[in-house]
Amino acid sequence: MYPTGGGTGLIGMWKAFNELRDNGWVSQKLPRMYSVQATGCAPVVSAWRAGSERGEPWPNPTTVAAGLRVPSPLGDRLMLRALRESGGGAVAVSDDDLSAAARALQVTEGIDACPEGGAALAGARELLNSGVISRSETVVVFNTGAGWLYRG
């Protein structure tokens, strides 16, 4: 579960997993990659749902997660390809849900989660509730920043 703005993190991880496999360091099936965006700025999710090869610029992007407020991601084509190749997908979550999930990580796990990290957890919860992922699977949720940067 990767909170996605411009896409370089997700693209880099998919590239690294492929290199690990190609060099014999990983022999099992590669992980499914999921892009998580905010409902107020979700060009990759929109393109994913439409089956497009690239995203369209998102008009009037709004979200409390500054790292997700990227209306025209530079890496849209590469992200969408990674999502397809990995058998993953894309999901959008509300600011209320991503903020609550960030707070849950802070309070229950002691992780200084940023809103983007909260988005990744909220996305995992949504995919679990919809049956896309199951409780028996191992899910890695990325927190890509520090929550204290948002407190002022």
Report CA Rg, the chain. 15
The residues, any chain, with a CB within 8 Å of residue 59's CB and separated by 6 or more, are: 71
Domains and CATH numbers, the chain: 2-150 (3.40.50.1100)
Residue 118: strand, helix, or coil: helix
Q: pLDDT tens digit string along 8-55?
A: 999 999 999 999 999 999 998 999 999 999 999 999 999 999 999 999
Whole-angstrom distance, CA of residue 17 vs CA of residue 32: 11
How many other C-beta atoms are found inside a 10 Å radius of the C-beta of residue 98? Answer: 31
- pLDDT tens across 107-143, in order? 999 989 999 999 999 999 999 999 999 999 999 999 8
The pTM of this model reads 0.93
- Tokens for 42, please give them: 């979700």
